[in-house]
Amino acid sequence: MDDLERVLRRYATSQDLMDRIRYTAESLSMEFDRWGEQHVTGPSLYVLVVADVAFGSYTDPLGSNTWPVDRCRVVVDESENFMRVARDVAFSRDGALVVTGDGTIQEQMVRVRSPSVEEMESFGGVDYPDWMGTKHLSALETSTREEVLWAITLSEENGRVTTFLDGTYQDYPRDEIGGRWRPER
C-alpha cells in the first residue's frame, strides 16, 4: 500500500469519528468564556485515534487519570454523553485520551513517548511551529506513527483546536472555530 492509499484509508475509516471529536473540542472552546483572564486555564484535551488497542509500545499509563467509561464508552454511539464527560475530563484530568478507530474509548489516559530520532528521520521529519506547546508537539510527532490514525488537541491556554494527521496539522484558532456558522459574540 503506498502513502496516498494509506492516508485515504485512514481518512475514510475515521472521518466521522474525528469530526465528532473535533466538534466536541470546538464546542468546549466556545463554551468557555474566560480565555483572556490572568491565572485562568480553560478546558484541555489531547485525543489519539488509534488503529487498535496495542498502543503500549509508545505510551505509558498516566497514573490515576482515567476516562470514566461507566459514563461513556463509545464516542459515536453516545455523542451527547461524550460531550458531557469530555467537559468534565477537560477540566479535571491530564494526559492523552485513546480512542480506537471504531470509537471505543480506552479507560486509562496516557503519556505518549516521543518517537526516536531514527523514527523521525525515517518519517522525513516534521516542521515545528513556534506556537506549539508540549501537548501539541507530542500530538504532531505521535501523528507520524503508523498506528495513529489522527490526533486532536484543545489548548487550555487559548482555546485553539488542532488536528494532526501523518506529521501535518490543521490549526483552528478560537476566533476561527465554527466558520460562517459561528454565532457573533
**Rounded (10°) CA dihedral 145, 150, 153, 159:** 140
Average pLDDT, 10 consecutive residues per value, the chain (185 residues):
53 75 94 89 95 91 95 87 96 95 94 88 84 93 92 95 94 80 51
pLDDT in tens, 45-60: 999 999 888 899 999 9
Full-model pTM: 0.87
pLDDT tens figures, 8-40: 555 455 688 988 999 999 999 999 999 888 888
What is the pLDDT at residue 185? 47
Domains of the chain as residue ranges with CATH: 3-176 (3.40.1700.10)
Residue 112 zone, left/alpha/beta (φ > 0; ψ -120 to 50; rest): beta
The number of helix segments (H) and strand segments (E) in the chain equals 4, 7
> Nearest to residue 31, comparing CAs of 177, 181, 179, 180?
177
- Residue 76 pLDDT: 83
